[in-house]
Amino acid sequence: MSSDSDPSREYTFGSPIDLPSTLKALNIQYLDVNETRALVIYQTAILNLEVLEGELSAASSIELEVYEDPREDYSTDTEKNSGSVVDSLLSQLAPKDNSTCLNQN
């Protein structure tokens, strides 16, 4: 499970995105918990995705937190830390120039 050292990051997108459609198009598995929260399985890691502004179908701002790091047998050296998984997922969701990192814990 998550520890205090696992990253939690907030991001604001340049324009609202439909997260379920985007995740589905990228073939990334997720489970929507409610209209503002989903659990995402990415590179064998489990991430909590919370929408801070909007809903899953039109998210303007999100927070991502790693609940469980990728399995050791799956990860490459650059994917072993939680921050790399979060960064990699965010680069899939929106181009770097369309998103802004608000904070990093």
Domains and CATH numbers, the chain: 8-104 (3.30.310)
In 1-105, DSSP assigns E strands to 8-17, 29-34, 37-42, 45-55, 58-68, 99-104
Q: Between the CA atoms of 54, 57, 58 and 59, what dihedral angle is there, to the nearest 10 degrees?
A: 60
pLDDT tens digits for range 73-102: 554 544 455 678 888 898 888 765 444 555
What's the predicted TM-score (pTM) here? 0.77
Nearest partner of 80 among 70, 90, 88, judged by Cα: 70
Integer-rounded Cα Rg, in Å, for the chain is 13
pLDDT tens digits for range 14-42: 999 999 999 999 999 999 999 999 999 99
